[in-house]
Amino acid sequence: MISTTVHIPPSNLAAIKCVHCAKVKEVSLARFKNVKHEITIKCSCGKKFIVKLNFRKYYRRPVNLFGQYTNPNAEIVTWAPVKILDLSMGGFKMKLEFLTEVLIGSILRVRFKLDGKKVVVIDKQVKVIFANENILGCEFLDLALEEKELGFYLLNL
């Protein structure tokens, strides 16, 4: 069955467009927020399709950026390579080059360059909110100075 992804804003109202006939209908998806993130819709055209619901606060863009990370609380501070897989105004997903145990809630320092027209280095402390082997989901702790540049970069991807 054909599927599509819908990004849900804080209002929980979203426009769902039929993948078969392109008819659009605005619906409230609040009842699915903490329950189900994939639903099957039957359009008035009679055809069904799957809608994947994305309730993230910020839209994530796939990227392929290389950087480094360190644990600032370690006895010996060393930098290790990472690959940034996706990026948003709130955080990112990264892949560690070397398998290392990192716990959810850990505070790390990460730095990487945005590959846009303007060279911008993001060098920030982040909190690990997801960990699965060498894949980490991280949340920026403070992005004040780089917020404008990151927003511009994400809009122009």
Mean pLDDT of the chain: 90
Over residues 54-67, the pLDDT tens digits come to 887 777 889 999 99
According to the 3-state scheme, what is the secondary structure of the chain?
CCEEEEECCCCCEEEEECCCCCCEEEEECHHHCCCCCEEEEECCCCCEEEEEEECCCCCCEEEEEEEEEECCCCCCCCCEEEEEEEECCCEEEEEECCCCCCCCCCEEEEEEEECCCCCEEEEEEEEEEEEECCEEEEEECCCCCCHHHHHHHHHCC
> Where along the chain do the CATH 2.40.10.220 domains lie?
61-155
61-155: CATH number: 2.40.10.220
* pLDDT of the chain, 157 residues: tens digit per residue: 898 988 888 888 889 999 999 999 999 988 888 777 889 999 999 999 999 988 877 778 899 999 999 998 888 889 999 999 999 999 999 999 988 888 999 999 999 999 988 888 999 999 999 999 899 999 999 877 788 888 888 888 7
